[in-house]
Every structure is written in C-alpha cells, then in structure tokens.
Amino acid sequence: MSLVASAPVILVVHPSVPIRNVTEFVALAKARPGELNFASGAPGSSTHLGGELLKSVAKVDVVNIPYKGTGQAITDVLGGQVGMMFAGISTIRQHVRAGKLRAIAVTGEKRAAAMPEVPTFFESGLVGVDSGTYWGCLAPAATPRDIVNKVSAVLHTVVESADVKPRLEERGYTVIGSAPERFGENIRSEIAKWAKVIKTAGIKVEAQQ
C-alpha cells in the first residue's frame, strides 16, 4: 500500500584490514582471492545477502562466516577474528565513531542522514550494491482503491512530519513515503534481484532442527 522507509547497511572493517574505501577493498580482494572474510548475522539475512551482492557486483571472492545472530558477528569483527561485515547503522555507528571499526561505504541511493560522512557505493564507483531492508504497509488485494490512496497519503504525511522523520533518520532509516504503485514496483524488483543473488551464491534453505 505504501513504502514508508528503508534501512541501508554499512560495510565496516576491523582496523587491521588495510582498506579505507571501496577501491582499496576491490583491489585487495582481487589480489587475495578467498583470503578475506565477512561475518553475517544469519543465512539469508540482509547482512549475508549484502555481502553476497557485493561479491557479485565487484566480482571478488570473499568468504562468508555465518553466525546465528548479529550480536556475536559484531563481537568477532570488533575482536578482529573476522575482517568485515555489513551492519545496520543503529547497531554499528557507536563502534565506528569510537574508532573500533572503519566504515567503508553505505548502500542506498544517497548518504544516510545518521552517518553523512560515509559515502555510498555508487559514489565510490561500485554501482549496484543496494542492500538493506524496506518498511511499508500492505493491504488485502481487494481493498478499494480510494481507501488505499487515503491510507497511503496519511502514512506519507506522518513519516514526513517534523515529529517523526528526524527520529527515523537518527536511527539509520531513510524516509521514503512513496505511492502504492512504487511500493509494488519495489517489491517485484527486490524479489528479482535477490533471487539472482541467491542463485549465484548457491544459498540453500537450511532444515530446522
């Protein structure tokens, strides 16, 4: 019904990894195929798929180190056991600003308001690394069009308001507040994009114990 906001993710590295930007990352990964690694919160998570998308776009071989949750993944990157990872702004910003991790680039079409000092992958010359999560509101398919438009307009007004927008941006979100048609287009394009990434990476559904 309406795409409300997106939450981009940031590629961060441990200070021991000798890269400070996307160009240096690609150069090092190509010089040392299979030697660099990245942590991910769980198979199929945004932290995992973001890394696989980066590998596909940059055409590099970087090994995924999967964890059962983002917390332990961040702990091991902070400790230097794993070299890098994609993470949400709200969970990683404090470590970057404390100098414990180095931010390389953020996904999305524009810089995140919560960390405007970090360039996008697009700015850095690597087009196509657009990962993260999207937040929106859906309605049953039979919902009358006038109701869909009315609710969508209200949502747009709310997320753009002076009370809400700054709070969302402070937490690492990018406010969108789009029309229903754009949300539908976004869902379809995301399904196609990630299906290709999953197939290329050979990701399989794990059986539940």
Q: Is residue 159 part of a domain?
A: no
Whether 34 is in a domain gets the answer yes
158-167 burial string, b = 16+ CB within 10 Å, else e?
ebeeeeebee
Q: Which residues pair with 5 in a beta bridge?
A: 135, 175
Question: What does pTM read for this prediction?
Answer: 0.86
At residue 51, φ and ψ (nearest 5 deg) are -65, -40
Instruction: Report pLDDT for 1.
Output: 62
**Residue 4 belongs to a domain:** no
Spans in the chain with pLDDT lower than 50: 207-209
What count of other Cβ atoms lies within 10 Å of the Cβ of residue 187? 14
Question: Does some domain include residue 58?
Answer: yes
Residue 153 resides in a domain? no
> Residue 182 falls within a domain, yes or no?
no
pLDDT of 133:
84
Asked if the structure places residue 96 within a domain, the reply is yes
Query: What pLDDT, on a 0 to 100 scale, did the predictor assign at position 75?
Result: 96
Q: How far is CA 60 from CA 25, 90, 94, 192, 205, in A?
A: 10, 28, 29, 22, 24
Which CATH number fits the domain that encloses residue 86? 3.40.190.10
B/e letters for 105-136, b = 16+ CB within 10 Å, e = fewer, are bbbbeebbbbbeebbbbbebebeebbbbeeeb
Residue-level pLDDT at 209: 47
Which positions ≥6 away from 96 have C-beta within 8 Å? 10, 12, 102, 103, 115
Q: Look at residue 122 and tell me if it is in a domain.
A: yes
The average confidence (pLDDT) of the chain is 91
Structural domain harbouring 42: 9-131
- How many domains are there within the chain? 1
